[in-house]
């Protein structure tokens, strides 16, 4: 019987089979399957294409396996085959293909190139989080619908269907994060290879926005030349030349035309809804909140803003609050407050799950300029309850985050009504939070009986330690990475918190309390 090869390209098959053979040996029972995607699956593969693949695992890759895989890739790169250095692959746990979770989104990856090394992709800011979510959607749709199975379960059993709306939302998110970044940093485009990649990727993004489906570079480029402004036809045509000559320097005029194409794509899609988050369910409840709040507040409405984990890059659909702030022109009357209370009760009827996750308040614009514990109380909502409450000391930090990178659902820029927050004030707010919440918990650790709260506490301590040392508030994944590298004795505990799942039966209560005490002692030394 004639052997069935995964691709029509003999040399590519040799390299891929070498990868598969080694990966199965290294991973053992952790191996689930290996799949090809990208141009090998979509069509249009040539000698300039990446050899895109994904290896699905049962669990995350530990340090020992990482080193073995890295050694394997170094050996494969020495093979006397043109495609040996064009491998671009990822090693991803199957759980990460089921649901996007930014805390667990980092994985092992190899880029194409002669001197590339295996590394861990991590998400450490809201912009990269938005772009990575979009890539995750593209990856899942590509593998599920067109992926080539080299070995393992069919991808439909591992990946849920991706809707056209989700693809369009991902394309818009990618355009607004990845592509628009070049407008601020055009120096990142240095060679024709990358400049051509940007142009052809813009064609694919706009194709997806129009059709709600993916396409190869060739199909998307032909569509773009027929459909988009003819002004860019020559740029798209020249992209194929640049692709064949990737080391050529990108000329100034070529870069300028590429930036113009990005601006065109952004302007051309202004009619597309600018969703505030990457999560359709969250966007839906925010839409309801915005429409109803504006209807009730009328001319008193200043703006609606998202903060918390939605802007720090560690939002979890299952457990995170949807933190919002609605800013008003003045203190609200009892009549307006009653109307808001009724509105939130109605939201619970429309969408109980997501209304329950709303946590926010309605505050006058003048009260947001500086933190004052005497201000308030404000109409507030949390876990379905509506009440009046002031802003506690952690709002010093929330004001800083709102000013720096709030998601503006609608309204004026928060910088216009929130003054800069000093490092001293941020440190003071964390100290107060430790004194008010975490120190008493050491005496009465009942909340720490739950493993999910242990994981939350561990990652919160990481963020505090990172902030004390670096004077900036980072995401939980970035903070955890910094603490692991700075304090090796906490590495295993932090890895446990990052990888914690609901079905875990391992308690880390004592270790969590030890890290809490370490953080308290560290804060006293740093602020003495």
Sequence-ordered alpha helix ranges (H) in 28-125:
39-42, 63-76, 94-98
CA–chain centroid gap for 255, Å, is 28
Q: What's the pLDDT band for 503 if we cut at 50, 70, 90?
A: low
| pLDDT tens-place string over residues 199-230 | 999 999 999 988 888 899 999 999 999 989 99
Q: What's the pLDDT band for 420 if we cut at 50, 70, 90?
A: very high
| pLDDT tens-place string over residues 3-17 | 566 788 999 999 999
434 Cβ contact partners less than 8 Å away, ≥ 6 residues apart = 464, 519, 520, 523
Q: What's the pLDDT band for 1 if we cut at 50, 70, 90?
A: very low
| Residue predicted with more confidence, 127 or 40 | 40
* Dihedral in degrees, nearest 10, Cα atoms 221, 227, 230, 231: -70
Give yes or no for residue 305 having a pLDDT over 80.
yes
CA–chain centroid gap for 515, Å, is 27
Q: Are strands 407-411 and 301-306 parallel, antiparallel or unpaired?
A: antiparallel
Which residues are bridge partners to 87 per DSSP?
51
- Positive or negative torsion for Cα 236, 241, 244, 246: negative
| pLDDT tens-place string over residues 80-101 | 999 999 999 999 998 888 777 6
Give yes or no for residue 528 having a pLDDT over 70.
no
Report which of 76, 49, 43, 73 is spatially closest to residue 61, judged by C-alpha positions. 73
pLDDT at site 166: 82
- Measuring CA to CA, how many Å separate 512 from each of 98, 314, 451, 493, 516? 29, 20, 10, 8, 6
Give yes or no for residue 24 having a pLDDT over 60.
yes
Which residues are bridge partners to 93 per DSSP?
57
92 Cβ contact partners less than 8 Å away, ≥ 6 residues apart = 54, 55, 56, 57, 107
* Dihedral in degrees, nearest 10, Cα atoms 70, 75, 76, 82: 130
pLDDT at site 268: 79
Give yes or no for residue 44 having a pLDDT over 70.
yes
- State the average pLDDT over residues 470-498: 86
pTM of the model: 0.59
Report which of 483, 467, 498, 103 is spatially closest to residue 320, judged by C-alpha positions. 103
Rg (CA), the chain: 25
Q: What's the pLDDT band for 126 if we cut at 50, 70, 90?
A: very low
| pLDDT tens-place string over residues 364-392 | 999 999 999 999 899 999 999 999 999 98
Sequence-ordered alpha helix ranges (H) in 33-163:
39-42, 63-76, 94-98, 126-146
- Measuring CA to CA, how many Å separate 222 from each of 6, 214, 216, 327? 27, 14, 10, 47
- Measuring CA to CA, how many Å separate 129 from each of 18, 124, 314, 355, 500? 33, 7, 9, 24, 20
Q: Are strands 51-57 and 378-382 parallel, antiparallel or unpaired?
A: unpaired
């Amino acid at each position: 019987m004639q052997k069935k090869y995964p691709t029509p390209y003999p040399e590519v098959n040799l390299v891929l089979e070498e990868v598969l053979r080694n990966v199965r040996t290294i991973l053992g029972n952790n191996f689930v399957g290996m799949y090809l995607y990208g141009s090998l699956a979509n069509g249009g593969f040539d000698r300039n294409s990446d050899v895109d693949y994904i290896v699905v695992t049962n669990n995350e890759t530990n340090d020992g396996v990482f080193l073995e895989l890295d050694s394997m890739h170094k050996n494969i790169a020495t093979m006397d085959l043109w495609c040996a250095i064009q491998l671009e692959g990822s090693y991803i746990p199957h759980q990460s293909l089921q649901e996007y979770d930014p805390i667990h989104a980092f994985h092992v990856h190899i880029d194409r190139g002669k001197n590339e090394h295996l590394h861990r992709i991590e998400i450490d800011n809201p912009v990269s989080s938005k772009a990575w979510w979009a890539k995750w959607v593209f990856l899942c749709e590509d593998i599920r619908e067109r992926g080539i199975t080299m070995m393992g379960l069919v991808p439909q059993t591992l990946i849920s269907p991706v809707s056209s709306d989700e693809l369009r939302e991902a394309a818009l998110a990618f355009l607004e994060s990845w592509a628009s970044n070049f407008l601020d940093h055009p120096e990142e485009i240095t060679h024709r290879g990358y400049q051509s990649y940007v142009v052809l990727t813009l064609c694919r993004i706009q194709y997806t926005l129009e059709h709600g489906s993916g396409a190869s570079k060739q199909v998307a480029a032909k569509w773009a030349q027929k459909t988009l402004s003819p002004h860019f036809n020559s740029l798209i045509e020249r992209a194929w030349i640049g692709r064949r000559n990737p080391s050529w320097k990108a000329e100034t005029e070529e870069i300028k035309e590429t930036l113009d194409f990005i601006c065109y794509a952004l302007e051309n899609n202004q009619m597309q809804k600018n969703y505030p988050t990457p999560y359709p369910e969250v966007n839906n409840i925010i839409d309801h909140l915005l429409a109803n709040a504006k209807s009730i507040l009328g001319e008193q409405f200043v703006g609606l803003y998202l903060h918390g984990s939605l802007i720090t890059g560690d939002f979890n659909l299952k457990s995170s609050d949807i933190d919002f702030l609605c800013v008003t022109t003045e203190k609200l009357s009892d009549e307006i407050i009653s109307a808001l209370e009724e509105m939130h009760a109605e939201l619970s009827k429309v969408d109980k799950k997501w209304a329950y996750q709303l946590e926010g308040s309605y505050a006058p614009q003048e009260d947001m300029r500086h933190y004052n514990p005497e201000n308030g109380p404000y109409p507030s909502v949390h876990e379905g309850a509506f009440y009046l409450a002031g802003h506690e000391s952690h709002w010093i930090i929330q004001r800083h985050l709102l000013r720096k990178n709030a998601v503006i659902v609608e309204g004026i820029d928060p910088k216009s009504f929130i003054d800069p927050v000093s490092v001293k004030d941020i440190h003071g707010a964390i100290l107060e939070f430790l004194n008010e919440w975490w120190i008493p918990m050491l005496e009465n650790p009942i909340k720490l009986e739950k493993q999910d709260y242990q994981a939350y506490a561990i990652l919160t301590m990481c963020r505090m330690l990172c902030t004390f040392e670096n004077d900036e508030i980072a995401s939980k994944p970035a903070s955890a990475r910094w603490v692991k590298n700075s304090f090796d004795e906490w590495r295993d505990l932090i890895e446990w918190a990052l990888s914690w799942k609901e079905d875990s039966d391992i308690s880390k209560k004592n270790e969590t309390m030890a890290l809490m005490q370490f953080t308290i002692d560290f804060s006293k030394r740093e602020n003495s």
